[in-house]
């Protein structure tokens, strides 16, 4: 079980990772009409997140789809890799005529471009920009292969360098990955990635079923899968370093708002367990999850971050980006960033 107290870090660590993707992340399953408000909301969510994180002295990793870096469509088309994913389900690939639906630049298309947001994140040096692959690549889908994945990551690294960003952390889209693809990441300079929770509910698959979805929903409110906190002995057992997820922060739901107290308790209890036992707790979500009902979502987030501040004072619980924690583990030491 992952909640062992043996071989811990010097103190607990709080990790936040954000899957920053705009419409590229949902284009194969949702339309602008269905989800457009959430996506457009990201352009105000990101600035609010940055200011909120700074207020509570919290660091985060913004795992960013490579397509978002481009200034215009021509630049995007000019940087399309020679080898693109050959998914059996052709609608999964953004390269199959989807670019025809993309506007010429950010001024006319807020759904597919985010260079100004990326530059804004760079203005907050305590935050990290990682990669969410170049094209929102699905590693377990039929048809694609490891060489196509390698090309995709190489393209992500290339566009990151244009911004002066060395991409060293990765979040796999739809949490789809396997050991062979992780080895490719290692070869390309990725030092850490977000793995999945250690429960049958979260095993990486390209297809899901209703039973798992129902139990994952229940797990957000009651403890089914455990605290999903991780010791140093686990974190340092692989390279690139697997920093598994602990909890997905589900967005505000009017239908389920009466259960918000349970959801908050579920997260806070996991954080407390990690802090008391010098373990790592990893919270994640998508900025577009906060795209609507922003005030409700930020109010809930601030209660989590206030709890982090309390745990920092009581147990020296530390906030780190994914790459910072990976470097701490690799180098065998941590920098104390106790909140003042």
- Residue in the structure block whose two tokens are 């909140």: 339
* Residue 256 falls inside a structural domain: yes
Q: How far apart are CA 251 and CA 9, in angstroms?
A: 31
> For residue 339, is it within any domain?
no
CA distances from 251 to 13, 166, 192, 233, 298 (A): 23, 31, 26, 32, 10
| 296 burial type by CB count under 10 A (0-12 exposed, 13-18 middle, 19+ buried) | middle
- Which of 89, 86, 94, 42 is CA-nearest to residue 67? 94
Contact between 339 and 309 under an 8 Å Cβ cutoff? The reply is: yes
3 state DSSP class of 93: coil
Whether pLDDT at 339 is above 60:
no
Which percentage of the chain shows pLDDT scores above 70? 94
Predicted confidence at residue 213, as pLDDT, reads 85
CA distance 40 to 22: 8
User: Is the residue at 175 inside a domain?
Assistant: yes
Tell whether 198 is covered by a domain: yes
pLDDT, position 334: 54
pLDDT digits (tens, 9 = 90+) for 19-78: 999 999 999 999 999 999 999 999 999 999 999 999 999 999 999 999 999 999 999 999
- Could you give phi then psi for residue 325, rounded to 5 degrees? -65, -40
Please report where in the chains the tokens 């985060």 appear, as a residue: 60
54: CATH: 3.20.20.370
In this structure, the number of other CB atoms found within 10 A of the CB of residue 258 comes to: 8
Distance, CA of 116 to CA of 112 (rounded, Å)? 12
Domain range spanning residue 274? 13-331
For 211-241, how does the pLDDT look when each residue is reduced to its tens digit (9 = 90+)? 888 999 999 999 999 999 999 888 887 789 9
Query: 114-123, 188-197, 274-283, 331-340 — which is least confidently predicted?
Result: 331-340
Q: Classify residue 5: in a domain, yes or no.
A: no
Q: Which residue has the tokens 């579920």?
A: 266
CB 167 within 8 A of CB 322: no
Specify the pLDDT at position 198: 84
Beta strands in 91-173 (DSSP E): 128-131, 169-170
50, two tokens: 């940055």
The band of 335, judged by pLDDT with boundaries at 50, 70 and 90, is low
77: in domain: yes
Classify residue 84: in a domain, yes or no: yes
Distance between CA 135 and CA 125 in Å, rounded?
Answer: 25
Q: How many domains does the structure of the chain reveal? A: 1
Predicted confidence (pLDDT) at residue 336 exceeds the cutoff of 70: no
243-278, pLDDT tens digit by residue?
999 999 999 999 999 999 999 999 999 999 999 999
In a domain, 6, yes or no: no
Collapse the DSSP code of 149 into the 3-class scheme (helix H, G, I; strand E, B; otherwise coil) and give the result: helix
């Amino acid at each position: 079980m992952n909640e062992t107290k043996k071989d811990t870090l010097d103190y607990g660590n709080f990790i936040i990772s954000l899957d920053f993707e705009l419409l590229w992340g949902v284009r194969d399953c949702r339309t602008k009409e269905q989800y457009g408000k959430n996506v457009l909301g990201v352009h105000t969510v990101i600035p609010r997140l940055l200011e909120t994180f700074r207020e509570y002295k919290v660091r985060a990793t913004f795992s960013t789809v490579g397509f978002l870096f481009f200034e215009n469509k021509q630049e995007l088309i000019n940087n399309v890799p020679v080898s693109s994913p050959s998914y059996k389900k052709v609608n999964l690939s953004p390269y199959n005529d989807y670019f025809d639906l993309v506007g010429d630049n950010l001024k006319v298309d807020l759904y597919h471009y985010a260079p100004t947001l990326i530059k804004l994140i760079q203005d907050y040096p305590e935050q990290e920009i990682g990669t969410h692959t170049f094209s929102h690549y699905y590693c377990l889908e039929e048809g694609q292969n490891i060489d196509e994945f390698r090309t995709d990551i190489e393209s992500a690294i290339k566009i990151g360098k244009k911004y002066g960003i060395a991409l060293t952390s990765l979040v796999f889209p739809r949490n789809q990955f396997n050991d062979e693809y992780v080895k490719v990441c290692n070869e390309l300079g990725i030092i850490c990635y977000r793995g999945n929770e250690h429960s049958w509910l979260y095993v990486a698959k390209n297809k899901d079923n209703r039973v798992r979805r129902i139990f994952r929903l229940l797990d957000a409110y009651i403890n089914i899968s455990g605290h999903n906190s991780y010791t140093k002995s686990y974190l340092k057992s692989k390279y690139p370093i697997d920093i598994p997820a602990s909890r997905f922060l589900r967005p505000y739901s009017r239908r389920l708002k009466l259960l918000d107290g349970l959801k908050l308790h579920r997260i806070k209890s996991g954080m407390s367990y990690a802090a008391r036992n010098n373990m790592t707790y990893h919270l994640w979500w998508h900025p577009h999850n906060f795209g609507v009902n922003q005030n409700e979502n930020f109010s809930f987030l601030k209660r989590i971050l206030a709890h982090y501040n309390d745990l920092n004072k009581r147990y020296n619980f530390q906030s780190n980006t994914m790459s910072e924690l990976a470097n701490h583990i690799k180098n065998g030491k941590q920098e104390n960033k106790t909140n003042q």
